[in-house]
Structure 1
Amino acid sequence: MKQKSLDLEIVKIHDIQFGEKTEIKEHVLTIQKEELKKILECEEFSSVDIQLARPGESIRIIPVKDAIEPRIKPDSGEYFPGILGKYDSVGEGRTRVLEGCCVITTGRIVCFQEGLIDMNGPGTVHSIYSHMNNVVLVAEPAENLSPEEHEAAVRKAGLKMAHYLAKAGMEVEADEVRTYTLNKVDPKLPRLMYVNLVLAQGLLHDNYIYGEDAKKLQTMLMHPNEMMDGAIVSGNCVTACDKNTTYDHQNNPVVKDMYERHGKDLNFCGVISSPISTILAEKERGVMEILSIARLLDIDAIVVTEEGGGNPEADIMMIAEEAEKVGIKTVICVHENAGDDGSSEPLANSNPAADAVVTAGNNNEFIVLPPMKKTIGHLEAVDVLAGGVSDALQEDGSVRVRLAVIMDAASNLGITKLRAVTY
């Protein structure tokens, strides 16, 4: 049987600019601004603008909704299956990637659980997006647009924008090709799976798998290449520091690390994606289905990541407890809410079975971010962002906030520089 094999054809972007034609030359992405704006205009937006934010520039982007890496299937010209594209060749064949470039969506706040990105200063230590060439969509909602309609419109516009930019990568030669396939390996190696808990809680806390709201879906077995190929799209407004953006799903570091070790010290047997519900019965069913799949495939160990915090910590602890009971070793990846000084109980729930934990750091830690020369979006939103404080905005334009408001600062996936070491 032929295994899925995915070639990520990497086009490295070193700079971005506006120009007469959307194209890539010598690693510079040039964007025809007015053409792109016309593609994105719709009745849900009162206005649409495109702005650029490069590493090192004195720019603050706020409130940030999502981050998306431009990717496209060059053989079909499609991407984001179930939303913009079809399902043909998902997880296999060729995918062109604009590496070093990211689409960021902003505009008037949809929900308090959004975030910020600084392109300069101390905030850059905590966000991967501070080091990318960001093409920022500023989409202001039309009057009387509901939060649900607003979120949906911004989500689709961000995907359309990423797809438009990715088309420019089809005309140039790739700088590098990275191939991902789960080849057969030594059967004596331990069999591991990745359990990807996908937030699906309603109230703007949802993700989409193949275009379908994850609340409507069951726990499912997935090939890791599907995640790399746009199968999961973020539609949630969960706290910025631990939000799994669309970019994070496309570049999931757990998937990448397990691929790197496949055939060396482990046998990577795939991904289980399971919705995180607020309902106890749904949580229990998810745990049962996760373990049913893992036991059917004779799995020795699982790595589990959550999205968000608090409520989802019940899911990971239940998984750890039940998995250990049946002899499946479990590693969980979480961030902490340990209080301003780090001395508080870090998790909303805990269990003795969860004795192998990877921490992404304490998102309650305070940081002062200096004023920037330019704000893309609405600076006043900082006073209402989840995890922040009501007087975050200072008279001099600086902001005193918790790490919680910085995009990916304490990512449960580990896309962060925060960590704890046990001595």
Structure 2
Amino acid sequence: MSPDRAPVGALFRRFRDRLAAEGPERLGGPGPLAGHGTKVTATHGATGTGNAPLTAGAENGSRATGTGAGVARTDAGAAEVRLAPHPPRDVEPVDRPRRKGRRGGRGGGGEQLNVPPAEFTSYYGRPILKAPVWKWDIAAYLFTGGLAAGSSLLAAGGQLTGRPALRRSGRVVSLAAVSASAYFLINDLGKPSRFHHMLRVAKLTSPMSVGTWILSTFGPAAGVAAIAEAAPWLPERGVLGLGRRVLPPVGHAAGLVAAVTAPALATYTGVLLADTAVPSWHEAYPELPTIFAGSALASGAGVGLIAAPPAQAGPARRFAVAGAALELWGAHRVETRLGLLSEPYATGTAGRLLRTGRALTAAGVAGALVGRRSRVLCALSGGALLAASVCTRFGIFHGGVASAKDPRYTVVPQRERADRRAAEQG
């Protein structure tokens, strides 16, 4: 409080003392009531006669009101200065009709509010979601993980059916692919220690945590199985000779462990993408694991068609048919079932990649079935299947990124879901 201003309590006490000494008339307050007549206030100069009170209001029955110290006026004079007259005290207030409903059309008899429905947009058309910061190395990680899983399954099929060329190629490619997959993942994490830190906990509700443990289990098993293929090159005697005798059975067991883990490795990346808030990934959660499983089988089949002679490529051809069926079915579903969210998979870079992938898949399967005795045609078919798997993985990746960058793919589905809930509740 500034020192030149008195406290509020002191001001109030001085006003009270002055009111008691001089009366309300001297302070411009209301004057005495004359029976049941009009109320008159003291005036000073209102009539031009100095201290004479104004009593004209009593003549016409109107009530005089005061607007300030020494000022009095009638209701008739209020109109001259454009002020509303005070209502008489003996008039009861008018009851206004109340709305029975808070909103138009509800509660019966309420006002109809003609308010247009709100249009939900983003500020200046900017993205609502932050687009994934993943780059091409994650798309490559998706492909190499599927290739490692498919090759491991192919190697297990060759092992169980007595096809050594199919088993050998599958094991070697599986080790190479899982090594590349680990490199791409660590490169995206930025530091190798981060991959190690992810192994400190096991969280079943986190696809990334589960995937880390799957990769950590699959990688050593695939590595041991691939190393076992070098057993025939070791000498027959000495310490290395012991390794020559021990490695084949150990490699068989490791190959089966890798094959058991392979389906999880092939599909968990689809669950990982669907678990994000990216619209076109999240809404395609039933199809992404199926697409990735089919792509893994097709890529493994491509390895077998390229590396194994036609006489041993029977399992690879069957893998190609099964993988192509799953991949094409899943790709068709994400391009037709999701409504507006299917658009990113059909346009732009993602649309071109997915269409190319479908064409290469169909060509690869046709060549594998027709060229049963042609090594060249089998190799070309295998290359087409591998290229189709690359296009499919990169197409799914780019489609999701495109849906996160455009706010329309976030806002419109949310509004449609809200309308459906409102219709169900109404």
Scaled by the length of structure 1, what TM-score is found?
A: 0.22
More strand by share: 1
Scaled by the length of structure 2, what TM-score is found?
A: 0.22
Query: Which structure ranks higher in relative contact order (CA pairs < 8 Å, sequence separation ≥ 6)?
Result: 1
More helix by share: 2
